[in-house]
Homo-oligomer: A and B are copies of this chain.
Amino acid sequence: MTRQRELIYRIVTAAPEHRTAEEIYDLAREQMPSLARGTVYRNLGLLVQAGQIRKLEMADAPARYDRERRPHPHLICQRCGRVEDLVMPEALLAPLEAGLPGPITGYELKLYHICPACRGARKDGAR
């Protein structure tokens, strides 16, 4: 494991935040200013492939990375974009899977809401 990959891995796993590649790049450069953007993307890809972190594709926004590697749903604020992890109740998908010809190899569940912070600050209409 190179120093670069180690640093990137630590940043993703240090906090429950779901950061974008760009945010990770900025944080990493505080400690290693020579780090290249391409290196961040490549290593995030490698870490995802290795199953050490997860990539979370966002609607009309850059992807985010999640330190939690077990599959689980996400709760996303439609206004500010904040992402929270949820726990998947046992066998919730079973009824759906039952009707299929083959096995499910993975799933992705996103629930959208307006987070308490954004709900409080009602005023404008800016997304």
Contact = CB atoms under 8 A, between A and B. Distances in A.
Chain A contact-residue range equals 20 to 34
A41 to B, nearest CB: 12
Contacts of A60: 57
Contact of A113 (B89, B100, B113): B100
A107 to B, nearest CB: 5
> By DSSP majority rule, is chain A's interface helix, strand, loop, or mixed?
loop
Given A86-B99, A100-B113, A108-B112, 12 more contacts: A57-B57, A57-B59, A75-B100, A78-B106, A86-B96, A92-B95, A92-B96, A93-B111, A102-B116, A105-B112, A105-B113, A108-B109
A81 interface: no
B110 A114 contact: no
A103 interface: yes
A121 to B, nearest CB: 14
24 contacts: A57-B57, A57-B59, A57-B60, A59-B108, A86-B96, A88-B96, A89-B95, A89-B96, A92-B92, A92-B96, A93-B111, A96-B111, A97-B111, A102-B115, A102-B116, A102-B119, A104-B111, A104-B112, A105-B112, A106-B111, A108-B109, A108-B112, A109-B109, A109-B110
